Amino acid sequence: MTNYRWRIVGLLFVATTINYLDRQVISLLKPTLETIFNWTETDYSHIVMAFQAAYALSYVVFGRLIDKIGTKLGYVLAVFIWSIAAVLHAIATSTFSFGVYRALLGLGEGGNFPAAIKTVAEWFPRHQRALATGLFNAGTNIGAVVAPIAVPWILGAYGWQVAFILTGLIGFIWLFFWWWSYNTPQQHKHVSAQELAFITQDTEMTTDKAPNVRWLDLIQYRQTWAFILGKLLTDPVWWFFLFWLPSYFAASFNLDLKKPSLPLIIVYTAATIGSVGGGYLSGYFLSRGWTINRSRKTAMFLYALCIVPIVLTRYATSIWEVVGLLSLAVAAHQAWSANLFTLVSDMFPKSAVSSVVGLGGMAGSVGGLLFPIVVGALLDTYKAQGNITVGYNYLFVMCGSAYLLAWLLIHLFAPRIQPLERDV
């Protein structure tokens, strides 16, 4: 049997890595840029919000568009837009222009996950989807690991403009490989009959009978709201980890972000392990004969518990204690995220997967849009008092509480994780 589906996951992994590398650059350049452009924490939060607002819109638009035009062309369009936007950051001359280019970046980057999740639904049987999602989702962390190594070096050698240009150009290389190597399993010349039978082995109660599903049809389902609320409550935590952890370490522990940062590398490497391991665990439960409902919810409850200890950062006495707590939290988040995304293909037909992912992704991005308002105001308040770390401590308490609440709401809105009993 051929195993071409794992090559497809490799392409998804690389695209997701580039996606997060491009968005992470600005957080590492923040100390340099806030000096050049006289940013306050509130100014920076507004730039983050510009990205989040566009990202929210992009998620739902691309979710719908990809269900209509397919993953191949939809992915090309998304990567092309965000790569152009990443390069344009190099010509920004003000806080406003940074906000404009961040918004354009968000418009493109929102297409990544609807395309990737739909691709996994097309290429993998149900029992392998969480693992495949975890594998490509690990790219979010690899991008975050590569950035603290590469960006400071580029900054020191060539300046901040080149950091944006070089990271942005990588996306165009990926486009070439995607265009020439991707197709659906049924139409792919490198997929054997045995692999195709393996991919399509599930007898789904919900089949692709309704390719023109409307958003109004989707929002009537409690299962849609389970995914939406899960994303709304937990996505903002990940955005906080991405955009503010570098400056947290710089403010609380005098970490020099102009040099490769070992603490950040360790934290985001832990997230990679969590992503892959998190996808494996629920698949292991399924192999033991557990139901989809029991497997996914047990795994997600364990991950939610692992994030709670982040509230103890206020009592840490060294940077490495904080690195340990944050590493556990980000690993658990990525494990949670891999399973949360997989819930969509567990419950909905392939023809609706991107649309549902788009709706949930938009909700997560709206949360990511609103949370920076709280973050910026809180940090500026305690920064003015000379103790910004206290502001971060309050934020970590909020982050540590979000996942258990999200798990409870998912259980209430989707008491049974199973294919819908009637066509969508």
How far is Cα 367 from Cα 107, in angstroms, rounded to an integer? 16
How far is Cα 406 from Cα 59, in angstroms, rounded to an integer? 20
- pLDDT given for residue 411 in this prediction: 95
- pLDDT given for residue 215 in this prediction: 63
Distance of alpha carbon 177 from its chain centroid, rounded?
22
Closest CA to 319 of 256, 394, 374: 256
Residue 36 is encoded by which pair of tokens? 């050049």
**Residue 173: how many other CB atoms lie within 10 Å:** 11
How far is Cα 98 from Cα 240, in angstroms, rounded to an integer? 19
Question: What is the residue type of 206?
Answer: T
Whether pTM exceeds 0.75: no
Q: Are 362 and 56 in contact (CB under 8 A)?
A: yes
Closest CA to 12 of 104, 109, 170, 132: 132
CA distance readout (Å), 337 to 96, 209, 221, 320: 32, 28, 21, 25
Question: What is the residue type of 331?
Answer: A
What 8-state DSSP symbol labels residue 191? -
- pLDDT given for residue 138 in this prediction: 81
- pLDDT given for residue 362 in this prediction: 85
- Domains parsed from the chain with CATH numbers: 4-190+211-413 (1.20.1250.20)
Q: Which residue has the tokens 């947290």?
A: 248
- pLDDT given for residue 147 in this prediction: 80
Each residue's pLDDT expressed in tens, for the chain with a length of 424 residues = 788 999 999 999 999 999 988 888 888 888 888 888 888 878 888 888 888 889 888 988 888 888 888 899 999 999 999 999 999 999 988 889 999 999 999 999 989 988 998 899 889 988 888 888 888 888 877 877 788 788 888 888 888 899 999 988 999 999 999 998 898 898 888 889 999 999 888 654 334 444 455 667 788 889 999 999 999 999 999 888 877 888 888 888 888 777 777 888 888 888 888 877 877 888 888 888 899 899 999 999 999 999 999 999 888 888 999 999 999 999 999 899 989 988 988 888 877 888 888 888 889 888 887 888 888 888 888 888 888 888 888 999 999 999 999 999 999 999 998 887 654 4
Burial class, 127, CB count within 10 angstroms (exposed 0-12 / middle 13-18 / buried 19+): middle
- pLDDT given for residue 368 in this prediction: 80
- Rounded to 5°, the CA angle 297-299-304 comes to 90
Residue 345 is encoded by which pair of tokens? 């293909």
- Rounded to 5°, the CA angle 206-208-209 comes to 95
- pLDDT given for residue 32 in this prediction: 87
